[in-house]
Amino acid sequence: MMRLAWLACTALFAGPLGAQDHGGHGAPPAAKAQEMDHCAMGHLPPEQCPPKEGTERGEADHSAHGGARGMEQDKPKMPGMDHSSHGASPDKTVPGAAPEDAVPPRALEGPRHAADAIWGAEAMAPARKTLARENGGFRTGMVMIERLEARIPADGGEDGYLWDAQAFYGGDINRFVLKTEGEGEFCGSLENAEAQALYSRAIGPFFDLQAGIRIDDAPDTRAHLVAGIQGLAPYMFELDAALFLSTEGDLTARIEAEYDQRITQLLIVQPRIEVELSAQDIPERGIGAGLTTIEPGVRLRYEFLREFAPYLGIEYEVRTGRTADIARAAGEDPDGLKLLIGLRAWF
């Protein structure tokens, strides 16, 4: 009996509960659910889609504009991170800010040196002078003996000597440069000797433009005007090239190039080449027009100190073209190989 009573009570309560309508509790009818699904996927125009909950009237619903594009527009935008205008304007500041090239008028007011307004121009002048000297205005000097060597001909001819040195004094931009070089035979005559006094002006980070005069003491006394360049070419080649116009109207040129290849920190091999040219024949000096001489060589030096480096080397000197013909006519050999023993130093 008790079991039958329990079953009867359960049947009475189940009927009313099953008849309740839960449509308004958040579960939409099938048609409404299908309509909302099409709106979310962007298949319907925005005006046919119901507004989202929490969206005010007149506010655009960007989620129905399609895929990642709608999601991109819903992302919060941070100040200074808007790249949408990069293609239209070079201004990279935040929207509404002044352009980068805008200078407020107050930036051009006041003294040229702001510290003068506090300490006075007279007190600040020594400090500015020191600053200028330490940042490019400092003057210095150096004497460099590039080559001081004995030259021993491989064919058993007369031993000779050679010097090639230069000195400078000045700053990074303007300098006075003094060059000298020459050669001769031991216990013999001086073959040639010259000195150059030049004004040197930096025309770039690695090159100086030089101009001045050259005085020859041998084989005869003669003066030249000089114009040339000196510096460091690409791939670390040291280059020295110059044109010479003599008081006799002779135009000649000289090009020297060398390269320091370190084997160790102290052992350096230096290939070097020197080329001379002439615009005309100079019979009194045994020079013909065109390419006159080529002197390729190589030196191996050891730097006991940075300022003191002895070396051994070999050099081949050849006179070419009309200059070689003049040498043969005078009974001289136009070319020859020489062994070198020398010293490179600076102070």
Question: Which pLDDT score is estimated for 47?
Answer: 58
What tokens does 187 get? Answer: 């216990």
pLDDT computed for residue 134 by the predictor: 57
Query: What CATH fold (topology level) applies to the domain 140-342?
Result: Porin (2.40.160)
C-alpha to C-alpha distance for 221 and 33, rounded to whole angstroms: 111
Residue of 134, 135, 208, 129 whose CA lies nearest to 168: 208
pLDDT at 117: 81
Cβ atoms of 293 and 319 closer than 8 Å: yes
The pTM (predicted TM-score) of the whole model is: 0.63
The whole-number pLDDT of residue 188 equals 85
**What pLDDT score does 345 carry?**
97
Per-residue pLDDT of the chain (347 residues; tens, 9 = 90+): 445 444 444 444 444 444 444 444 444 444 444 545 555 555 555 656 666 554 444 444 444 444 444 444 444 444 444 444 444 444 555 676 767 677 777 777 766 788 888 888 888 888 887 776 656 567 899 999 999 999 999 988 889 999 999 999 998 899 999 999 999 999 888 999 999 999 999 999 999 999 999 999 988 999 999 999 999 999 999 999 999 999 999 999 999 999 999 999 999 999 999 999 999 999 999 999 999 999 999 999 999 999 999 999 999 999 999 999 999 999 899 999 999 999 999 99
pLDDT given at position 170: 93
